[in-house]
Amino acid sequence: MNESTQPGDEVATGSSASGAGVAAETALAAAEAKAQENWNSYRRAVAELDNYRKRMDRELDNARKYAIERFAQELVPVSDALEAGIKSGAANPAALLEGAQATLRELQRAFDKAGIKIIDPIGQPFDPNWHEAMAVQESREQPANTVLAVIQKGYSLNGRLLRPARVLVSKAPGEAN
């Protein structure tokens, strides 16, 4: 042995190497535990996302199926009134007219509750966004491009056009189509 190395030094070096191995094994075990914890967290997050997606699909499907449920509930009395009017109308035609008018009032109440508005633009300026011109007629009483008559009422749902009103529109006398 030379002077720089002592027999005790070899033992110390050997024990420090084994201490470093233990520390490395401890660090490796801690890293593996952390990796397993992260893997489990990832799997839980994926499962939660999958469950959320399935729940949203079910809710969307139910929303599509039952979106008109309230409106349908409002239409049931309209059907009842129509049936009653038809039954009573067989014996009395005046009762049939009265029943039809009552049914129309019930239907209009159902429309109001559902947000359906009737477009009846008589006397208003023609608006191609809400009206469909079926014919043009000369008029001295109304300015040009005014709705003279409604051939078929239009309808909107909460501000969105369902069906345009079909109308007769005025034009100035002598004006070409």
60 within a domain of the structure (yes/no)? no
Among the residue ranges 75-79, 122-126, 146-150, the one predicted with the least confidence is 75-79
C-alpha to C-alpha distance for 86 and 93, rounded to whole angstroms = 9
Residue type present at position 64: R
9 within a domain of the structure (yes/no)? no
70 phi/psi in degrees, rounded to 5: -60, -40
**In the numeric block, which tokens belong to residue 18?**
């084994």
Q: What is the largest CA-CA distance in the chain?
A: 133
Q: How many domains does the chain have?
A: 1
2 within a domain of the structure (yes/no)? no
| Cβ contacts of 70 within 8 Å, gap of 6 or more | 113, 114
Helix (H) or strand (E) holding 75: helix 69-89
The winner for highest mean pLDDT among 14-28, 36-50, 101-115 is 36-50
Q: What is the pLDDT of residue 12?
A: 46
Q: What is the pLDDT of residue 124?
A: 96
Condensed to tens digits (0 to 9), the pLDDT of residues 1-32 reads 445 555 544 444 555 667 788 899 999 999 99
Q: Is residue 121 within 8 Å of residue 131, measured between CB atoms? A: yes
Does position 58 have pLDDT exceeding 50, yes or no? yes
**For 67-85, what is the mean pLDDT?**
84
The CATH code of the domain that includes 132 is: 2.30.22.10
Dihedral over alpha carbons 106, 109, 111, 117 (to 10 degrees): 130
Task: Pick left, alpha or beta for residue 27 (phi over 0 → left; psi -120 to 50 → alpha; otherwise beta).
Answer: alpha
123 within a domain of the structure (yes/no)? yes
Condensed to tens digits (0 to 9), the pLDDT of residues 126-175 reads 999 999 999 999 999 999 999 999 999 999 999 999 999 999 999 988 77
93 within a domain of the structure (yes/no)? no
Domain around 139: 116-177
58: number of CA atoms within 13 Å, CB side?
Answer: 6
Question: What secondary structure letter does DSSP report for 139?
Answer: -
What share of the chain in percent tops pLDDT 70?
Answer: 89
Does position 120 have pLDDT exceeding 60, yes or no? yes
Residue type present at position 62: N
